[in-house]
Chain A
Amino acid sequence: QKEVEQNSGPLSVPEGAIASLNCTYSDRGSQSFFWYRQYSGKSPELIMFIYSNGDKEDGRFTAQLNKASQYVSLLIRDSQPSDSATYLCAVTTGGGKLIFGQGTELSVKP
């Protein structure tokens, strides 16, 4: 089993819809969770981070964390074509390690 697993893409949603991106992780001791967005040929950029169970909202983005289920998700409301990118889930493990999922490609159709 992979340490961090994301739902396989590509995910296609119409403009204005809600995009839901999911991530599961295997290390119960993980404390910090991140979502990065990566456009083709560019470096990852931070979208959200979350440390506690529950929801965290920032504009059109909501991160949800459930440590009991070892599950973290990212919701994008009112999806725009500019949201089309690959979304990377990242989870800290013991010490200073950061483990990334394989990424989910999102396509928002006008």
Chain B
Amino acid sequence: EAQVTQNPRYLITVTGKKLTVTCSQNMNHEYMSWYRQDPGLGLRQIYYSMNVEVTDKGDVPEGYKVSRKEKRNFPLILESPSPNQTSLYFCASSGGTGVDQPQHFGDGTRLSIL
């Protein structure tokens, strides 16, 4: 089954404790992206990657890191999480020419930073 898999689905942690949210897709898509969703603000793009070893900042990259060492994986790293990063996070991928194609979303990761 074609899918984007995120882990964990839920995480409660404390300020300053490094965490990684994994994202994997099995569709051989070149484009992958991370979004956060907050009430009243819609989805905001954090980082995106148009291919292996190519990553770029979205609209809200501060406090986040990403890497794209292989096509299928695109982890999101919070090196020193803070309470303002409490949010619902989505990973997505798309094929073809990338962002001009529809995004396939993962099920989401709900992060709470205390």
Point out residues on A near B: beta carbons under 8 Å. Answer: 31-32, 34, 36, 42-46, 49, 51, 88, 90, 92, 95-103
Q: Is B98 engaged at the interface, CB distance under 8 Å to the other chain? A: yes
Q: Is B24 engaged at the interface, CB distance under 8 Å to the other chain? A: no
Residues of B within 8 A of A44 (CB): 43, 90, 103, 105
Pair count A-B, CB < 8 A: 59
| Beta-carbon contacts under 8 Å, B43-80 to A | 43-45, 48, 50, 56, 58-59
A77 CB to nearest chain B CB (Å): 22
Q: How many residues of B contact A (CB 8 A)?
A: 24
Answer whether A88 and B43 are a contact pair too, CB < 8 Å, given A43-B107, A44-B90, A97-B48. yes
Residues of B within 8 A of A36 (CB): 103
Measured in the bound complex, the distance between the Cα atoms of B105 and A101 in whole Å is 17
